[in-house]
């Protein structure tokens, strides 16, 4: 997958996530915190890639004259 963050951007995003989730994950060891934050950054990147691809190929079709009935 292209368009992944460069190492500097990943590091900045990891620090921002640490600021947000720091209190929630402080009971984990430093190593586990690092692993979790890295996983979160990777998941965020992957989600952005999927949404960008979906947005670029998404087409809408508007149906006219459709009646809805409540059952």
Cβ atoms of 14 and 41 within 8 Å: the answer is: yes
- Report the pLDDT value the prediction gives residue 34, as an integer from 0 to 100: 95
- Report the pLDDT value the prediction gives residue 22, as an integer from 0 to 100: 94
What is the C-alpha separation between 44 and 3, in angstroms, rounded? 12
- Report the pLDDT value the prediction gives residue 41, as an integer from 0 to 100: 95
Question: What pTM was estimated for this model as a whole?
Answer: 0.70
Domain ranges of the chain: 26-57
pLDDT means per 10 residues, the chain with 71 residues, are 75 94 95 96 92 76 69 64
Provide CB contacts within 8 A for 18, sequence distance 6+: 33, 37
- Report the pLDDT value the prediction gives residue 1, as an integer from 0 to 100: 45
Using DSSP, state whether 11 is helix, strand or coil.
helix
């Amino acid at each position: 997958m292209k368009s992944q963050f460069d190492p500097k951007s990943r590091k900045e995003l990891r620090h921002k996530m640490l600021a947000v989730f720091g209190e929630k994950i402080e009971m984990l060891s430093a190593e586990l915190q690092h692993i979790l934050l890295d996983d979160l950054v990777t998941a965020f990147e992957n989600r952005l890639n999927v949404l960008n691809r979906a947005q670029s190929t998404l087409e809408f079709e508007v149906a006219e004259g459709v009646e809805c009935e409540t059952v």
